[in-house]
Amino acid sequence: MIYLTGDTHGYIDIRKLLKNTVTEQMTENDYLIICGDFGLIWNFKREIRKEKKWLKWLNKQKWTTLFADGNHECFPRLNSYPEKEWHGGKVHEIRPKVLHLMRGEIFELEGKSIFVMGGAASHDRGPAVGDTEQVIGRFWWPEEIPSAEEHAHGLENLAKHGNKVNYIVTHCLPTSLQELVKKGKYAPDAATDYLEKIYHTVEFDHWYCGHYHYDLDAEKNVTILFTRILEAGKNVRDSAMMLGVPKYRRGEAVLFRNNGDEMIGIVKEPYPWGTLTKHDEPYYDIELFSEEKKKPVVKVRESQIIEKSLIR
């Protein structure tokens, strides 16, 4: 079966793939497509220890992980992995079971055709937020927007397929849908305008993207993914809610129950995907009030928190 999910952002949101009701059912015959912002090829120099650890973890899972690129990838490194033909299209092989689906390619999987066009404009770093030159090539790369050649390559491949595919996988939305869901907060660019053209000229069963960090059916057959892991062809409304949206934020004071007592503390760190051993709800590190220099920290489940506290 083919499954899809939204941004994993390296070792931050990949934790959504830890054992849960969807991933525990997945087998050797399954594929999981991440719709951009994979984020495990991120350090600007080399594969660092944390990247290696999670790539190894992914490679050990039963399913095969496939990803479109987003805007949070280190493109020079991503493009340096060996290129190979795979199921009718080109991939970069990161690990034998972790493959980057290259831009403009069409893959045939389980009798379904999948057109992939990664890339999107960053809204949190780089020129959009006036970052200095120093971020270029370290935390932001101009290749996040596909080149004219990559766009043309995609159109050529689509034309060869009679402008008809089963699924489209991208990181961002076509301009008109982005406008509809973000209401002017994200400016159109070459990537969204290109997708707008595809949206009107290519016949498809379902389109999946990431980028916006929530789960939403923007249209009957256009779905934005973040926390959900969906079977291809399904909508957000057909799926169960998953972890990933903590109610409380870092720095907030909260009233909570702990071993029969009610306590107040400050959220130091939210864990949206649970802890390494418990993945049934978000967890928090909560710092207790104390005269000590090193204040005690307790691990608290979201369901232990009664409410935000006005007393600090």
Closer residue to Fe ion in complex, CB, 7/105? 7
> Cβ atoms within 10 A of the Cβ of 54, count?
19
Q: Applying CB under 5 A, which part among 5-13, 17-25, 160-168, 279-287 lies near Fe ion?
A: 5-13
Which of these, 227, 226, 270, lies nearest to 248 by C-alpha position? 270
Which of these, 125, 207, 145, 130, lies nearest to 170 by C-alpha position? 207
Which of these, 101, 145, 154, lies nearest to 121 by C-alpha position? 145
Closer residue to Fe ion in complex, CB, 112/123? 123
Give, as one character, the DSSP assignment of residue 136: B
Q: Exposed e or buried b for every residue in 253-281, given b needs 16+ CB within 10 A?
A: bbebeeeeeebbbbbeebbbbbeeeebee
Shortest separation between residue 159's beta carbon and Fe ion, angstroms: 31
Q: Applying CB under 5 A, which part among 1-9, 18-26, 228-236, 261-269 lies near Fe ion?
A: 1-9
Cross-strand partners of 125: none
Q: Applying CB under 5 A, which part among 31-39, 53-61, 237-245, 268-276 lies near Fe ion?
A: 31-39
- Give the binding-site size for Fe ion (rule: CB under 5 A): 2
The yes or no reply on residue 13 touching Fe ion (CB under 5 A) is: no
Q: How far is CA 208 from the centre of its chain?
A: 12
Give, as one character, the DSSP assignment of residue 304: G
Contact present, 227 and 16 (Cβ < 8 Å) = yes
Binding residues among 213-232 for Fe ion as defined by CB under 5 A: none
Closer residue to Fe ion in complex, CB, 7/144? 7
Applying CB under 5 A, among 4, 5, 7, 103 the residue interacting with Fe ion is 7
Closer residue to Fe ion in complex, CB, 40/286? 40
Shortest separation between residue 5's beta carbon and Fe ion, angstroms: 12
Shortest separation between residue 38's beta carbon and Fe ion, angstroms: 10
Closer residue to Fe ion in complex, CB, 37/215? 37
Applying CB under 5 A, among 13, 37, 51, 302 the residue interacting with Fe ion is 37
- DSSP 3-state of 3: strand
Binding residues among 150-209 for Fe ion as defined by CB under 5 A: none
Closer residue to Fe ion in complex, CB, 23/122? 122
At 55, the amino acid letter reads L
Shortest separation between residue 283's beta carbon and Fe ion, angstroms: 22
CA distance 28 to 210: 25
Which of these, 2, 1, 6, lies nearest to 173 by C-alpha position? 6
Q: Applying CB under 5 A, which part among 18-26, 35-43, 137-145, 146-154 lies near Fe ion?
A: 35-43
Residues in contact with Fe ion by the rule CB under 5 A: 7, 37
